Structure 1
Amino acid sequence: MSESQSATVASIRQLRTQIPGPKSRELHAAREKAVSSGFGVTSPIFIDHVEGSMLVDVDDNKLIDFASGIAVTSVGAANPKVAEAVAAQAKSAIHTCFMVTEYQGFVDVCAKLNELTPGDFDKRSALFTSGAEAIENAVKIARAYTGRPAVVVLDHAYHGRTHMTMSMTAKNVPYKQGFGPFATEVYRTPTAYGFRWPNGRENAASEALAMLKEMVLTQIGAGNVACIVAEPIAGEGGFIAPEPGFLKGVQDFAREHGIVFVADEIQTGFARTGTLFASEFENIEPDLITTAKALGGGMPISAVTGRAEIMNAAPVGGIGGTYAGNPVACAAALAAIEVIESDDLVGRAKQIEAVAMPRLESFVQSSPYVGEARGRGAMLAIEFVTDDGITPNADAAKKVAAQANSQGVLTLTCGTFGNVIRLLPPLIISDEELDEGLDVIGEAIDAL
């Protein structure tokens, strides 16, 4: 065992082998013979089980999780209440298809979403399986309601991997390259990305809003726009929180012109940002809101929730899906929501920000390669730049992430330019685990 590995035995992490270890490498070799190479992998580590918020791999290494399965396992990747709910429902019925024979879990999840999502108005919900499926159906519902074709999205957006959601996604590689042609009537406009706004952060919100309005009014025609779809914090695009006032302005403009405003809260929803939904930060009340990821506590389920008159515009049979709102996934969702509420994970996300953000900001001060620390709650990021302070530096982000992963701290990169490391720890992570993970990232930054 190396000196660095022996030093970590007494720590929260447990590194018994190199990362990845021999068993993981053996399994990864088998994977390469069985699985399409089109599936990417952050780190070729095979997980055996989960202990609280720690991941234990097949080589018995214990890893600090700063990924949460891409914001899915907010209540933990093996939460006992979610596991018990899944097991109980699986014994009763694994699947019937809600469009064939109904079951209460589907109705209960919809009722809970109607209650919890922003907006004091009559709502309806529809359940699906993946986040991309939720976005596709939100677009379908908005088109059915308005009778209009056009969809407006923002720079740095990520909405999924299906044909329509690929078309709505900004980044070409790896999400779109070689998969065209794409859907028509999708229009893109800048978002208020303060760190990179040419005329300064203070002008980003007003200028980005003016550009959106100009596009809708003069290039598309407001009467042709079915919906504007926006992430309250851009996820894959780099954890970009638009400058205050921008999204509220977009919502108000949409309502003025009969355009459906859709908030994509698939990554931001369910306590991740220190509010139950990120839209609450600016008191936004979306006409439609899409959720997935943390909704199911690890099980595949997604939803579209919104104004009753809009949701009911889809013709009977026009929305649905064989696995939509699967009963086991519904049981998991109800249990996950119960844990979020009973354990005050909204408050915990705020505590995570209070612990982590000063550390991330210290990296900005100590390293010329860290341009900005940003985010809300437990959805935080650092953006890497060259020593000019602004040019994207994807190489630095990759090096820091690789070093952290090799030392047992599972991290993810993101960003349109590939130069952002994002932190998405489970909301049940301890302060000690959080601090140790940040120590490892700090050491990797220093090594640059």
Structure 2
Amino acid sequence: MLQVSVLREHPDAVLAGLAKKHYKTAEADVQAVLALDQRRKDLQTAHDTAQAEANELARQIGALMKSGDKAGAETLKARTAELKQHTKQHADELSQVEIALQQALYKLPNLPHTSVPEGRTAQDNEVVREVGARPELPASAQPHWELIKKLDIIDFELGNKITGAGFPVYKNQGARLQRALINFFLDEARAAGYDEIQPPILVNEASGYGTGQLPDKDGQMYHDAQDNLYLIPTAEVPITNLYRDEIIQPEKLPIRNAGYTPCFRREAGSWGADVRGLNRLHQFDKVEIVQIAHPDHSYAQLEEMLAHIEGLLQKLELPYRVLRLCGGDMSFTSALTYDLEVWSAAQGRWLEVSSASNFESYQANRLKLRYRTENGKTQLLHTLNGSALALPRIVAALLENNQQADGSIRLPQVLHRYCGFEKITA
């Protein structure tokens, strides 16, 4: 959530940032926030003035009663009653205005970092680097949705039978590969200094608002109306919310957490060749890394996170590229995002497998996540997260890029000890 002080003091910069994100109603929404902020200040001033007058009258009433001037005291008591009514009205309206201001601020996306390129769509994203050679496949090569049927490792028909489309059943070596990747990613995170967390996969409404999924992604989350709980779209939500309403000691920064969870996304309206097989699911597994950082160091921490994710892809022997997202393709909450995509040889295209983002103080302001400075004041921290990694498209690329002429799938060496086998065979 943007800070009101930033909108108040730098409205032109805010409008320019929102324009880079192609936020259509920026001017009207910013003016609405500023009007509510001014009304809040006016009400607070009126409330405080009336309260101060009432306190002064109370002192005078006491003096008049002591001197025996009951008539004068009664006159002041009548005025005090009027003031109490005014302060109650002010307090009631102030409460309503503060709620309206909060809701107005929730509508505004985060401002992009100055390094974010201009652009509207994914075609405008900046390629930072491309790493690794694209494999040459045998003539018999197939896309992963054909391979998984032949190898009997993932079954979409069974998933559709017991749940619905987008909920695959992993079987045999497919299930073991899933478990192997999760353990590999968690072990690598722990070696990089991340503390492992196993969080709940259902969160309350306050957690959804805390990290910005609500109200922006309300329709994309699975919701249990009876208990008003949401299935998480990513472990970012529960892990970051561990620190909601906390004041962190500076010497404990940065905080590094990693967690594996299943993730749930409705992905309403998704169809076509680009979402076949494992390319887009309603339920999938992911290891997430999260950092809480001092504002002065958060962009250095983002580069550290990016290097960690790249290291995973290099150990998996997958060709990949790093993109810096343009303003129009960024998430609602992000200030700067790097996407990492792996090359899918059988599909002949890039598949996104990770996003690493710095949210600066946007989430921290919603979470009231702060640190105490040397002079005793509190300041907002910065939050960051990254997929390290999401499994479905990693599995798709491993299957497609490593298929052999005999129909088997060669696995990268780093996974051999985790899987207990070196090849996937029919």
Measured against the shorter chain, the TM-score band is under 0.3
Structure-1-length-normalised TM-score: 0.23
In the superposition, the TM-score normalised over structure 2's length comes to: 0.24
Larger radius of gyration: 2
Larger helix percent: 2
